[in-house]
Chain A
Amino acid sequence: MTLILAAVLALGAAALLSGLFSRHDPWARSAVIAGLAAAAACAGALAERALAGREVPDLLGPWLLPGAVFHVGIDPLSACFLLLVLIVGCCAGLYGEGYIAASHGHVPSTPARFFFLVLVGSMALLVAARNALLFMVAWETMALSAFGLVSCEHGKPEVRKAGLLYLLCTHVGSLCLLALFALLGSNAGSLEFSAFAAAPPLPAAWTTAAFLLALVGFGMKAGFMPLHIWLQEAHPAAPSHASAAMSGVMIEMGLYGLLRLLALLGPISLEAAFFLVALGLVTAVFGILFAMTQRDFKRLLAYSSIENIGIILTAAGLGCYGLARNNSSLALLGFAAAILHTLNHGLFKSLLFLSAGAVYQAVGTRDIEACGGLQKRMPWTCALTAIGAAAICGLPPLNGFTGEWLIYSWLLRPGAGHGLLLGGLAAAILAVVGAFAVVTFSKCYGLTCLGQPRSATASAAREASWIMLGPMALLAALCVGIGLFPGPAIRIAFTAAGDVARAAGPAAAASSEEWSRLLSVIGLLGVGVCALSALLWLFRKSLLHRREVARGPTWGCGFSAPTARMQYTGSSYPVPLTRVLAAALATREEAHPPVGYWPDKAAYESRTPDPALERWLPALTAKVEGWISVPRRLQYGRLQLYLLYVSAFLVMTLLWKL
């Protein structure tokens, strides 16, 4: 168990060293790589031991804070998330070195390195924390280091704005969590997680309050609609390796928190489970809808993270339904699907964020509309992007399909009861989300990498360095590997789900065997698709071997001078859908069409603002401002007055205690 401590310390030491060596770039780089490698070795060994089912003793240490114990432990659920933190952290960290070097000073290297290592270390500590105060300390360290990463390039006004928004949101979440732990702690009489589990259940009203606090506190981090407002602003602002770690792992810590609470506190009511499923589906649908309309590569990916969080939340809600119905096999399946999709999402989303970073470094913009034709110029980056895009659409034979297939299997399982209609409808909504994802990511990959370059910078793009490509290739290999041979990942997910579903070991193992057998058939069929494609490719090659193969311009349907500007753009590509769904999207268009026989300059602009951020939040803040205008009269901005307030408060508390 000291291994987890060693990993966190290694990361912390590397962070400090990278800060100390800020003038010696090679030294700082070696510190980062050594720290990540050491952490990976320590924590990887630990996670392996926990997932293999061996008992790992907890580590308890004294701590000066009142009520706090330095208590860390690891169970399969922690180990599963620890593994994700490590894989994504190491890949993104290594990539970050190439990214910082390629940015030629645009990315300030010292904060980017320091905060990144702190972020990874705090997440490793977070998943191992077994005491509420330790959990909160790790949570806040994670949140603040992410703030440091988001505002890395604080010279830009939009980055400052995004950073501030993130800071506000994350603190609203943290306040809710503090209240939640205070509530649970006062009930249990201790801030130890084990005490929470052993405590008598809360009264009904307080249970609802705790549920809502957890939902807002963890949901703010995970990005449940409409709490997602910071996500699409913060992710594009951060350097790409940081957004990969934030989107691939950090937001999933919100889900870890929810799952951990479920594991501690036991089943929630049936209504709450339905609410979680509905919230997940709404988040998924609106996340992907807004992703579809974006033209900023990283903003698109951020919205798609919201969609995936929605899918994971749906699966977790299905697990809760199983718990509430006392059906352990359903609970196990739901939670396993949630955890598997969390793992998969961490892999392909960080891969795509790393690709976005490579494209940004090469083209100098995140605007899809200025890209195009990159596959000829950056063949490796684009090939890896294609794998990530296909995986995130949930297409077989890649890993995205495995988790979604488990969710479909849950929803469409035959049986009796009124839940079936809802199951069928939920499956249909998931199918819509999947089809929208195909629209979004065929746009994201197709218009960025394929076709002709739409700008001069795009046509001058150069391939990324190997230190950036290597980690991307590793992530892509994991995506393909889990898709073709899903057995190990399934076992990890079911073992971890066993903790949440409170299913006894043998039951979880049997269920895991059954589902991994089915998914192995799918994996084998995936291998078959690959083999068949290879055969057909060879067949095609042999057919063309003796024939004339010519190269010419693209067929312009009779028009002889097509230009790159006539290609479909990121805004026009989803129009058949956005027109139909105009009511939900509220896309603002400003058009000055050509008029008359000798038309003047024409212009067209469309923008899809985020309703939660740009319409609901201002309305809410206006309301809140109205409410707080009364207590604001106490605020005069004079120090003497505030000192008076403080002393008055102290006297009041003394009087109370008398």
Chain B
Amino acid sequence: METLKLVASDLLMVVFAPPIMLGIIAKTKAAVAGRKGPPVLQPLYDTIKLLGKGAVYSKTTTWMFRLGPVVSLAAVIAAAALVPLARAPLISFNGDAILFVYLFALGRFVTITAALDTGSSFEGMGASREAAFSSFAEPALILAFASLAYRSGGLTLARMFAPYGGPSAAASTVLALGSLFVVLLAENSRIPVDDPNTHLELTMIHEVMVLDHGGPDLAFILHGAELKLALMASLLVRLVMPEMPLVGAVGSLILGLAATAVVIGLVESSMARLRLIRVPQLLVAAICAATFGLLLTLR
């Protein structure tokens, strides 16, 4: 019964939390702009609607184009098994943090190749940018993980992302949090790196890669992207937020995710997208912050 409850709560987190998080971001942005905005559940409605639609495939495409959304979603779901969502993660072992990073890389690789499969110059452009910018995000992620692993004494996500009370805890947490937050924005195509709601394909990164996908394929991609955001956000939440009384582990995680969504919404409302040549500079700043964090853990 206990395991059943655990699986049910995990499933809840994997299926429902991600779209709702995106809904909260949209709602926050609307509220700041003085609009009413779409309902919080709109991303979920979109996904369900897309699952019921047919599809149009370009004549240029091959099986790679169809495989991309499937494998990228599977990789993100596998990554979810490693993340301590509400309680202990489904699978946890020494070194799972590296696998977590590389599962995202797998998802990125298949998304990029699926985009190149269309032979469209726009999608090639998106693929080229995605591949380039993630090259700066990945070292920041690894450096932040390194400082967390060193200070917690284990290379497992569950140990790294837990409240920590050792020496210079606050400073190293803040630095890791800062760099991870920038990586979260960059990897999940949020402002200031990418704008998922723009109408000009020329300025997009992630969205332009999936221009040709429709129907269930697009639903898989959207849900994969939302889940990726939720997974990274839940790591950040666990890093700073202890379990709160009254609401329990699941409740505090959900509250934390909602708060993260509001913060992302506020960031998106308060600034414009950076010029593309500025994006590497932002990510290098994240690398520097993570390196300082690493320095602080060495004493």
Known contacts A529-B74, A533-B70, A568-B125; is-contact A418 B298 (Cβ 8 Å): yes
A contact residues around B297 at 8 Å (CB):
420
| A-contact 0/1 string along B111-133, CB 8 Å cutoff | 01100111111101101110111
Known contacts A386-B64, A450-B119; is-contact A395 B78 (Cβ 8 Å): no
Q: Are A576 and B146 in contact (CB under 8 A)?
A: no
Q: Are B131 and A439 in contact (CB under 8 A)?
A: yes
CB distance from A254 to the nearest CB of B (A): 28
CB of B55 within 8 Å of the partner chain: yes
A residues 366-385 touching B (CB-CB < 8 Å): 372-373, 375-376, 379
B contact residues around A521 at 8 Å (CB):
91, 93
Q: Are B131 and A434 in contact (CB under 8 A)?
A: no
A contact residues around B194 at 8 Å (CB):
none
A428 to B52, CA, bound (A): 43
The A contact surface, by secondary structure, is helix
A522 to B146, CA, bound (A): 20
A390-B109, A425-B294, A427-B146 known; 10 new pairs, CB 8 Å cut-off, are A395-B105, A450-B119, A451-B60, A451-B116, A525-B81, A529-B71, A529-B78, A552-B56, A552-B59, A555-B211
A contact residues around B287 at 8 Å (CB):
428
CB of A572 within 8 Å of the partner chain: yes
Q: Are A525 and B99 in contact (CB under 8 A)?
A: yes
A619 to B36, CA, bound (A): 69
**Residue of B with least CB distance to A554:** B58
Q: Are A450 and B117 in contact (CB under 8 A)?
A: yes
Q: Are B58 and A551 in contact (CB under 8 A)?
A: yes
A contact residues around B127 at 8 Å (CB):
442, 446, 568, 573
B residues 148-200 touching A (CB-CB < 8 Å): 149-150, 152-155
B residues 66-109 touching A (CB-CB < 8 Å): 66-67, 69-71, 73-75, 77-78, 81, 91, 93-95, 97-99, 101-103, 105-106, 108-109
CB of B62 within 8 Å of the partner chain: yes
CB of B260 within 8 Å of the partner chain: no
A390 to B121, CA, bound (A): 23
CB distance from B131 to the nearest CB of A (A): 4
**A residues apposed to B, CB below 8 Å:** 372-373, 375-376, 379, 386, 390, 393-396, 401, 405, 408-409, 411-414, 418, 420-421, 423-425, 427-432, 434-436, 438-439, 442-443, 445-447, 450-452, 518, 521-522, 525, 528-530, 532-533, 536-537, 539-540, 543-544, 547-557, 562, 564, 566-568, 572-577, 579-580
Q: Are A452 and B119 in contact (CB under 8 A)?
A: yes
CB distance from B151 to the nearest CB of A (A): 8
Binds A, one of B18-26, B27-35, B214-222, B262-270: B214-222
Q: Give the most central of B70, B131, B143, B277: most A CB within 10 Å.
A: B131
Identify 14 residue pairs between A and B in the complex whose beta-carbon atoms are under 8 Å apart, listed by A's number: A394-B102, A429-B139, A435-B135, A439-B135, A447-B116, A525-B99, A536-B73, A540-B216, A544-B54, A544-B215, A554-B119, A555-B212, A557-B122, A568-B128
Q: Are A576 and B276 in contact (CB under 8 A)?
A: yes
Q: Are A434 and B78 in contact (CB under 8 A)?
A: no
**Residue of B with least CB distance to A543:** B216
Q: Are A450 and B55 in contact (CB under 8 A)?
A: no
Q: Are A550 and B56 in contact (CB under 8 A)?
A: yes
**Residue of B with least CB distance to A528:** B78
**B residues apposed to A, CB below 8 Å:** 51-64, 66-67, 69-71, 73-75, 77-78, 81, 91, 93-95, 97-99, 101-103, 105-106, 108-109, 112-113, 116-122, 124-125, 127-129, 131-136, 138-143, 145-147, 149-150, 152-155, 201, 211-212, 215-217, 220, 276-277, 280, 287, 291, 294-295, 297-298
A516 to B128, CA, bound (A): 36
Q: Are B74 and A557 in contact (CB under 8 A)?
A: no
Q: Are A425 and B60 in contact (CB under 8 A)?
A: no
B contact residues around A572 at 8 Å (CB):
124, 128
Of the candidates B57, B71, B122, B131, the one whose C-beta lies within 8 Å of that of A551 is: B57
Q: Are B155 and A413 in contact (CB under 8 A)?
A: yes
Known contacts A438-B131, A450-B116, A551-B58; is-contact A420 B150 (Cβ 8 Å): yes
**Residue of B with least CB distance to A524:** B91
CB distance from A156 to the nearest CB of B (A): 31
Q: Give the most central of B75, B113, B147, B287: most A CB within 10 Å.
A: B113
**Residue of B with least CB distance to A447:** B116
For the complex of A and B, list the 5 residue pairs with the smallest distance between their C-beta atoms, beginning with the closest. Answer: A568-B124, A451-B119, A446-B116, A547-B54, A576-B132
A contact residues around B277 at 8 Å (CB):
579
A contact residues around B105 at 8 Å (CB):
393-395, 434-435, 438
CB distance from B38 to the nearest CB of A (A): 24
A528 to B113, CA, bound (A): 22
Known contacts A446-B116, A551-B56; is-contact A536 B102 (Cβ 8 Å): no
Known contacts A522-B99, A576-B133; is-contact A428 B143 (Cβ 8 Å): yes
A439 to B124, CA, bound (A): 12
A424 to B143, CA, bound (A): 6
B contact residues around A576 at 8 Å (CB):
128-129, 132-133, 276
CB distance from B192 to the nearest CB of A (A): 17
Q: Are A412 and B70 in contact (CB under 8 A)?
A: no
Q: Are B291 and A425 in contact (CB under 8 A)?
A: yes
Known contacts A438-B105, A438-B108, A439-B132; is-contact A547 B215 (Cβ 8 Å): yes
A contact residues around B98 at 8 Å (CB):
405, 408-409, 412
A409 to B78, CA, bound (A): 20
A contact residues around B91 at 8 Å (CB):
521, 525
